Structure 1
């Protein structure tokens, strides 16, 4: 049984509730335990996971958040840098499932976040577990 940290950016609470529900259900269905921490936004997710990983308490990580395109270049920075940070953690050997949605509008986010539709929170949790399996296979 793995211990998984879910790090969530709570900027859009109603959307994150759906992502979190999907991630928790996927982890519990697979027989794993989890803990959740909250950060303000998607840019903070890679840093939070990096800090949490130093203690060796968790076997895998799930990053959840929503970035909705606005009228400025900020969307590109947040979307790109959060993804880059998650990928850097993965390349450094941490099993991280990326559940940061980058969407044009709230309706797209709802479809992707809802466990009964896109279930991207569940997908991110399953991705983290898959990477953990690869890590265990080649450790």
Structure 2
């Protein structure tokens, strides 16, 4: 008997209102699809790869199984290079985990020039990137199934 799909949502909470809107969009897609999910918060985008890796280690120890992962958050450009370092480091680390562990990942991390751009992209009645990240995760879960990959 196969297990029911379960998705892990990792939310970077640095911009809490943006994170809430992204999570609202993702949750709506998962609810509509009848997919169970857990939400876990981290302080910022930089911490998202570590949280995903913690989940992988937990799955390896048999504690829990996730069929997919959705990472949500926002980085807004400031006056220093901090934006570049956080964005590129987190994206590269998440890609490495995705490829190394065959994770069905939906990437919903906004990289914006300003707060207004972030609101536009996060809002469920606008670009709704949280929903898009959830749809991507579901599609990648289906693709893993197509390739007969087991849930890690």
- The normalised TM-score by structure 1 is 0.96
Q: Distance in 2 between matches of 1:115 and 1:84?
A: 27
Work out the number of aligned pairs and report it: 139
1:82 CA drift (Å) = 1.0
From 43, 47, 71, give the equivalent of 2:46. Answer: 43
What residue number does 2:77 align with?
69
Match of 2:126 among 117, 120, 134: 117
Gaps of 5+ in 2: 60-64
Tell me which residue corresponds to 1:29: 32
1:94 is aligned to 103
State the Cα distance separating 1:61 from its structure 2 match: 0.3
> Equivalent of 2:144, from 127, 130, 135?
135
Structure 1: state its 5+ residue gaps: none
Residue equivalent to 2:62: none
Partners of 1:90 and 1:128 lie apart in 2 by 11
Q: Secondary structure at the match of 2:39?
A: strand
**CA contact 1:15–1:113 (8 Å) conserved in 2:** yes
1:106 and 1:91 map into 2 onto residues whose CA distance is 31
For 1:55 and 1:47, the matched residues in 2 are separated by 12
Q: In the alignment, is residue 105 of structure 1 matched against residue 114 of structure 2?
A: yes
Matched position secondary structure for 2:87: helix
More off after superposition, 85-94 vs 105-114: 85-94
| Greater Rg over alpha carbons, structure | 2
